[in-house]
A = this chain, B = another copy of it.
């Protein structure tokens, strides 16, 4: 399991720049249903929040993600990672900051930071890797008109 341990190690070394280049922000609040019996937001909730950030990124910088799906293209999640730095509590407001880290017609990588609204301190950070598929789930390429919408930013 050597490779595996290495991977985890480097996972711990992720260093985001203090601000992601060309990011999009949206503010959310922790829902009661997102807490668990530790009294903090549950670890799986963060991946739903990353998705909200991604949705907002597409809308603001390119094209609403729903329209991409209507054209028959899907950004299927191939990898997801989150590093949790500080707990988030019920009803706390936080910022979801999202950047498009890499884009090719077949693949996209988004990066995320969650920040306390109050003091902008880092709550969590992570990324998701996506492959482009058609409605049958087959890997495909974004058509030029969609690809350009993302690339021009």
Contacts and interface: CB of A to CB of B under 8 A. Distances in A.
A7 B8 CA distance: 9
Contact of A55 (B4, B12, B32, B127): B32
Contacts of A72: none
Given A1-B17, A83-B78, A42 B38 contact: no
A122 interface: no
Contacts of A87: 76, 137
Size band of the interface chain A makes with B: 35 or more
A76 B38 contact: yes
Given A3-B13, A37-B38, 9 more contacts: A7-B81, A12-B79, A35-B37, A37-B90, A38-B76, A44-B47, A66-B91, A79-B83, A80-B81
